[in-house]
A and B are shown apart, each in its own frame.
Chain A
Amino acid sequence: MIHRFELNGYKLVVDVDSGSVHVVDDLVYRIVGLYERHSPEEIVRQLSGTWPHAEVLDAVNQVQSLVDEGLLFSKIEHRERLGERVHDGRVIKALCLNVAHSCNLNCSYCFAAQGTYKGEQAIMPLETGRRAMDFLIENSDSRHNLEVDFFGGEPLLNWGMVKETVAYARSLEAKHNKHFRFTLTTNGLLIDEDVIEFTNREMANVVLSLDGRKETHDRFRVTQGGKGCYAVVVPKFQELVRRRTRGSYYIRGTYTHCNTDFLTDILHMADLGFDEISMEPVVCPPDQPYALTEEDLPVLKDQYERLAVEMLRRDREGRGFHFYHFTVDLDHGPCIYKRIAGCGAGTEYLAVTPGGDLYPCHQLVDDPGFLMGNIWQGVVRLDLRNKFSQCNVFSRPECEDCWARFYCSGGCAANAYHVNGKLPGVDTYGCELFRKRMECALMMKAASLPKR
């Protein structure tokens, strides 16, 4: 299977199974489009009226050599067996630790129901955090790198526990030959000197929630009293980022139906000095006034294309920034098994509630039907674990015809479940946006090639 597309003056051909990406001229672009349904002789005959005969012959030969090298129209065999070789849930390597089911903001668009996940407010005790670290080590088999995301609600509401849990995990590393990578996801309100210093030292990644322009951010991200928090959090984020000497960070936003011109918000964040930016479509029921609509789709795609062009321009001017969703590591990216298996929700990745209950991922914590066990007894719903272990790219019929399947592994299982009520499934709206983002990312790779 291949995918051909034109963007910003570039013509690209993606060979889906081998992962090869080719930047081609007009003639090759036409030939590749005809190749599967016509013989080389027919193609030469058909195109020789438009291009010189010798050129068409030469171009057909170049295309044929790509096919011979396994870089075009390649095919992965024995897909079922590959699907069986991906993670089965017996090894757990990552936990989302919901250290606070409580929040000091009251964002109406929050998928976690203002941090409570539709339940009672709760704070994770230190003993539970420590036990979660033990649980992770006990279930990680020979995996060396373990990941823990301090999440919520707002994790800084339980900051002392976060620090103690990190210290406890660090104390286990040498003995068990493990390396913990911690992430903190925060709304920023409680960032202070101690948070800045500690996160720089201990957190491999910090995710800072900012939606863009003041009017965008303050539309949803308000305090319990209804006051927007842009003015409070932006200087804190800037200071934290300025002093970050180790690990990564992302300024992460959400766009909704209310700001389908989200490019302006991304550029605003770049102009604030942030150079690692992530911006995602809102996840919410379709009846919400801020839910994205079918009519928004072409507008959103256009915004991504404009963003890519603008990023190239800023890069040439020496003021470039990274956009998380355009980041594609073609050469050193994940292996085929990661690309088949995806995020690992419900198998190698679990979410832990303040009470120590286990869920397949942070987006499913509000649904009792997905309670998988707890950190003392382990995963007891093996039926659920099996279901998630089968959520791979080959088990989703919708992915069969999708050229981007090895870029997303079938996408977010939770999103698909919320849209369709089934596992495995796909969120077709999200798929549309994802494919556009990948086209933009690949075009940017083409644009960064040296001129010939």
Chain B
Amino acid sequence: MKEKKRIVTLSTRDLVQDIEHDGCGECQTSCQSACKTSCGVVNQVCEQEKR
């Protein structure tokens, strides 16, 4: 988390930086968790980050 006097920036994955690397594809398929009738991907965990 980076702080400025008037701004608190939450710690987030930088998606622009991500482009430099290929996705490994090891992460969970979103519909295998608890949806089955909708789609969200941001709630999934990155397998690389988990290590």
Which A residues have a C-beta under 8 Å from some C-beta of B? 17-25, 27-28, 58-59, 62-63, 65-66, 70-71, 74-76, 82, 85-87, 91, 93-94, 96, 111, 143-145, 147, 149, 151, 181, 183, 185, 205, 207, 250, 252, 254, 276, 278, 280-281, 283, 324-325, 327-339, 341-345, 348-349, 361-363, 406-413, 415, 430, 434, 437-438, 445-446, 449, 452
The interface residues of chain A lying within 8 Å CB-to-CB of B29 are 93-94, 147, 343-344, 348-349
Report B28 CB to chain A, min CB distance, Å: 7
The interface residues of chain A lying within 8 Å CB-to-CB of B47 are 145
Alpha-carbon distance A325/B21, docked complex (angstroms): 28
| Closest A residue to B10 using CB positions | A21
Alpha-carbon distance A304/B8, docked complex (angstroms): 24
The interface residues of chain B lying within 8 Å CB-to-CB of A19 are 12-15
| Interface flags, B10-51, vs A, CB<8A=1, else 0 | 111111101101110111111111111111111111111110
Alpha-carbon distance A329/B48, docked complex (angstroms): 14
Alpha-carbon distance A85/B1, docked complex (angstroms): 31
Alpha-carbon distance A289/B15, docked complex (angstroms): 42
Alpha-carbon distance A362/B27, docked complex (angstroms): 20
The interface residues of chain A lying within 8 Å CB-to-CB of B28 are 145, 147, 181
| Closest B residue to A416 using CB positions | B39
A333–B45 contact, CB under 8 A?
yes
Alpha-carbon distance A445/B42, docked complex (angstroms): 14
| Closest B residue to A339 using CB positions | B41
Please tell me which one of the listed residues A59, A280, A332, A452 contacts residue B37 in the complex, with CB atoms under 8 A apart.
Answer: A280
The interface residues of chain B lying within 8 Å CB-to-CB of A330 are 10-13
Alpha-carbon distance A145/B43, docked complex (angstroms): 18
A22-B10, A62-B7, A205-B32 as given contacts; A434 in contact with B40, CB under 8 Å: yes
The interface residues of chain A lying within 8 Å CB-to-CB of B36 are 151, 185, 207, 252, 280, 362-363
The interface residues of chain A lying within 8 Å CB-to-CB of B22 are 85, 337
A147–B32 contact, CB under 8 A?
yes
Interface of A is mostly: mixed
A-B contact pairs, 11 of them (CB 8 A): A25-B7, A27-B6, A66-B9, A71-B9, A93-B25, A254-B37, A324-B33, A336-B23, A362-B31, A413-B39, A452-B3
A23–B5 contact, CB under 8 A?
no
| Closest B residue to A345 using CB positions | B31
The interface residues of chain A lying within 8 Å CB-to-CB of B33 are 183, 205, 250, 324
Please tell me which one of the listed residues B3, B30, B42, B46 contacts residue A406 in the complex, with CB atoms under 8 A apart.
Answer: B42
| Closest B residue to A251 using CB positions | B34
On chain B, the number of residues with a Cβ less than 8 Å from chain A's Cβ atoms is 46
Report B46 CB to chain A, min CB distance, Å: 6
Please tell me which one of the listed residues A27, A91, A329, A362 contacts residue B42 in the complex, with CB atoms under 8 A apart.
Answer: A329
A252–B34 contact, CB under 8 A?
yes
| Closest A residue to B30 using CB positions | A343
Alpha-carbon distance A85/B32, docked complex (angstroms): 23
A333–B46 contact, CB under 8 A?
yes
Alpha-carbon distance A74/B18, docked complex (angstroms): 13
Report A440 CB to chain B, min CB distance, Å: 13
A278-B35, A342-B30, A434-B38 as given contacts; A335 in contact with B13, CB under 8 Å: yes
The interface residues of chain B lying within 8 Å CB-to-CB of A446 are 8, 10
Alpha-carbon distance A334/B33, docked complex (angstroms): 14
Choose among B8, B14, B29 the residue with the greatest number of A CB atoms under 10 Å from its CB.
B29
A411–B9 contact, CB under 8 A?
no
The interface residues of chain B lying within 8 Å CB-to-CB of A144 are 26
Alpha-carbon distance A204/B16, docked complex (angstroms): 32
Report B1 CB to chain A, min CB distance, Å: 7
Alpha-carbon distance A25/B6, docked complex (angstroms): 6
Please tell me which one of the listed residues A62, A70, A94, A438 contacts residue B32 in the complex, with CB atoms under 8 A apart.
Answer: A94
Report B10 CB to chain A, min CB distance, Å: 4
A205-B32, A325-B40, A329-B42 as given contacts; A338 in contact with B23, CB under 8 Å: yes
